[in-house]
Structure 1
Amino acid sequence: MAQGVLVGAVMLVFGTPSQSQSDLTPQVLPPAPAPAGEWRVSIGAGALLSPDYLGSDRYSFSPLLSPDIRWREDTLFLSLRDGLGATLLRHGNVSMGLVLRPRFGRDQDDNDALRGMGDVRAAGEGGAFLRYADPNWRGSLELRQGFGGHSGLVADARLDRVLRLRPDIILAAGPRLSWGSEDFAETYFGVDAEQARRTGYARFAPQDYWFAGVAASLTLVLDSSWSVTAFGEVGRILGDAADSPLVDGRGNATQGVLGLAVGWQFTR
């Protein structure tokens, strides 16, 4: 019961399920540029083109709402890209802390390939992060434990080179790598005996999930309050998960997202 309430609260904060079914969106939105302040708040709104589910070959547009709230240089933060978290230790450009992320549910009515698979409940993922940030580079490592919709371990690594092409144009780009344990892979890519009977898929029990890709964002700073960001990511599902009937049979191991968001921000 307590887990369900916590997951529901996180979903409410981060928006609608369509924003993160692909598992790619949180990794590509950059923090909005802003001068230093006790509080830094920004809200982005736009549109997102993403797969119907992780592994799908069909894409759809959905609205995108991207909050980004930070207090005392990320001592506390809430954002679509970085989750809900707290920085506990700092040393120079390196920081460590705790993070909580949502993973939105999957509805079997979202795509014909999912019919008979049943729904996957929304999940929360809690764990720790290690980050590095300077004016030219941003990198992070995360390890999280799922609860609610899945009970697997997940890990994410990302690295961005940040280039200020002009005072008002910021380009960030770099590699992405994600991993999911056997429990995670079975939840989103496995086919058990009952699902096989309903769908006609062969039974499938993956041991792991991997995703490797590259992401980029281009931000145009209009003034001290407004900016426009275009972003995208493309990569491949790897490991056992790539052989799932939901990917190899009815979907595609190549996954990507494209989006455009207008951001407004202030500091105090």
Structure 2
Amino acid sequence: MGGSSQRRGVVRCLGAALLLLAARASAFDLPQMPNMIGVGVGSTTQCSGCSDTMIGAVPGVEYHGQGWLLEWYGPYAQIDLGEPGSHFRWGPALSVKLGRSDLDDPVLKRLPEISTTLEGGAFVGYEYYHSGDIPYRMRLYANVLTNAGSVYDGVRGGLFASVWLPTSERLLLGGGAGYAWASQSFMNTYYGVDAGGAQASGLPMFTAHGGNQQVYGWLGGIYKLDQHWAVGAAVIDQYLIGSAGDSPIITERGKASQLTWGFGVGYMW
């Protein structure tokens, strides 16, 4: 595995493992939100649409400031500026969009490389805590991101939902689903094949259009070891749709189903 490919795995692959940290429940009293730091290790695909996989590790952090909350999991971070006690959440968001380089696939590695870029944007959301015989926490979120033309023009965004449910004093289970869309520039950058790429790789030329990019679902679990330590695991399947799924990068060399799985450990205080 090349150096750039390994770094890409370190940054990208374990958002799923760090879903265990996103539960934010030190004693599974769901409304409680402790500070937290952790790390996840697992496997993901080398690029969006690739079939080859890699192993990597990423950190996760959650920190409460005066009137704000930082959530950072893998390549994505957001600062929640919603008022304490309110169900509505909002704030700025940052994401590292990984590029495409040093792939194992002998055909895809002939396509033009794509640089890693930093994206900025915002999110809005709604959180609901239910305390009763069966307590749970539900989150509904939407975000929009752009990199202001450094690699692509336009924007990409998504809608996603999650639910966490304690099944005992030590075990917390969760699941969620989401949908993502993107502008034509984004889609064509990551899934299109221009004349130069077609000549170099042998893949047919393909122009990707804006719109649907993917749907996904995930399942996770957290086991509380003691007051401060917890371990967890998660698996997420991202399924490419629209022009992303129709690209010859996927239909001839890769696969539409992009599976990521991992394990993590977190410390809470």
How does the TM-score come out when normalised to structure 1?
A: 0.83
For residues 26 and 103 of structure 1, the distance between their equivalents in structure 2, rounded to whole angstroms, comes to 18
Are the counterparts in 1 of residues 219 and 235 from structure 2 also a CA contact under 8 Å? yes
For residues 45 and 86 of structure 1, the distance between their equivalents in structure 2, rounded to whole angstroms, comes to 20
Give the match for residue 65 of structure 1. Answer: 58
Aligned residue-pair number: 249
Aligned pair partner of 1:80 in 73, 77, 88: 73
Question: Kindly tell me: are residues 82 and 70 of structure 1, through their superposed partners in 2, closer, same or farther at Cα, counting changes over 3 Å?
Answer: farther
Q: Give 1:124 deviation, angstroms.
A: 1.4
For residues 21 and 86 of structure 1, the distance between their equivalents in structure 2, rounded to whole angstroms, comes to 20
Give the match for residue 222 of structure 2. Answer: 219
- 1:234 has 2:237 as partner: yes
- Say which is worse superposed, 72-81 or 226-235, in terms of deviation: 72-81
* Stretches of structure 2 lacking an aligned partner (at least 5 in a row): 1-5, 130-136
Give the match for residue 147 of structure 2. Answer: 146
Q: Give 1:164 deviation, angstroms.
A: 0.4
How does the TM-score come out when normalised to structure 2?
A: 0.82
- Say which is worse superposed, 179-188 or 128-137, in terms of deviation: 128-137
Q: Counterpart of 2:41 in 1: which secondary structure?
A: strand
Q: Give 1:157 deviation, angstroms.
A: 1.4
Q: RMSD of aligned C-alpha atoms?
A: 2.7
Identity percentage of aligned residues: 21
Give the match for residue 12 of structure 1. Answer: none
Write the deviation string for residues 133-184 of structure 1: whole angstroms up to 9, x where unpaired. Answer: 2332112110111243333411121111211011111111021111121111
Are the counterparts in 2 of residues 227 and 263 from structure 1 also a CA contact under 8 Å? yes
Moved over 6 A (4+): none
Aligned pair partner of 1:96 in 90, 110, 115: 90
Are the counterparts in 2 of residues 229 and 262 from structure 1 also a CA contact under 8 Å? yes
Give the match for residue 206 of structure 1. Answer: 208
Q: Counterpart of 1:205 in 2: which secondary structure?
A: coil
Q: Give 1:73 deviation, angstroms.
A: 7.9
Q: Give 1:47 deviation, angstroms.
A: 1.8
Write the deviation string for residues 230-264 of structure 1: whole angstroms up to 9, x where unpaired. Answer: 00111310001111111011011111111001112
Q: Give 1:108 deviation, angstroms.
A: 4.0
